[in-house]
Amino acid sequence: MASADQLINAFTTLLVTIDPPGLAPIFLGLTVGMSRVQRKQVAMRGSIIAFIILAVFALFGASVLGVLGISIGAFRIAGGLLLFWIAFEMVFEKRQDRKEKTSEVAITKDHIQNIAVFPLAIPLIAGPGAISATILLSGSMQGSLERAQLIIVIAASLLLLFLALLIAERVDRFLGVTGRAILTRLLGVILAALATQFVVDGIKSTMGIVSAG
């Protein structure tokens, strides 16, 4: 059974990586011209698809790594570096620009009914960062009960995201440009610290394997 610290760490990592405050204005841009009911349908479908993707990686991600001959320590280092890059982008506002470009491309190429799948579910919610974080977290939760707890944490994170998308218009108005920038940078610093911890744990794990060998 996972400890409270592990579960809080998992929830924080996923929530920061998914970034509900950063996705809210992008969601509004994607669903411009839609009614409230249509926006709710898109938000629900996108959140469910993203949950399924992340749950699959939580259950089988470590097994896939084993088949490929990649140790969880090595993946922790690689995943930690990737998460650190995302944190860097958040602090220096590069990630928001990239997300906005992704949404602009999607509006011109995809029909409104498919927006929930692309780009909302993939890659805006269940992107490389969230998938990497999920595999990293599942690597430290080996038991069946712990994996079940991780899936509950993923569901809670995406439920919170779904609620944020439902009130996206109000949240965006409340935060404003300045509030959104401050919150994104703060979340970026937190993610950088979590990413660094992943790298440190990965190095310790790899060094342990080398010593044992």
Looking at the predicted structure, is the pLDDT value of residue 156 above 70?
yes
The pair of structure tokens assigned to 99 is 């997300």
- Is residue 213 assigned to a domain? no
Average pLDDT for residues 164-191, to the nearest whole number? Answer: 82
- Is residue 211 assigned to a domain? no
pTM for the whole thing? 0.74
- Is residue 125 assigned to a domain? yes
Q: Work out how many domains the chain is built from and give that number.
A: 1
Q: Domain of 130?
A: 4-206
pLDDT tier, 70 (very low <50, low <70, confident <90, very high otherwise):
confident
- Is residue 70 assigned to a domain? yes
More confident residue, 197 or 156: 156
User: Number of C-alpha atoms within 13 angstroms, CB side, residue 107?
Assistant: 15
What residues contact residue 204 under an 8 Å CB cut-off, 6+ apart? 73
Q: What is the DSSP string of 87-150?
A: HHHHHTTHHHHHHHHHHHHHHHHS-GGGTIIIIIIIIIIS-HHHHHHHHHHHHT--SHHHHHHH
Query: In the prediction, which pLDDT does 95 show?
Result: 60
What residues contact residue 73 under an 8 Å CB cut-off, 6+ apart? 201, 202, 203, 204, 205, 206, 208, 209
Is 58 within 8 Å of 149 (Cβ atoms)? no
Lowest mean pLDDT among 96-100, 111-115, 153-157: 96-100
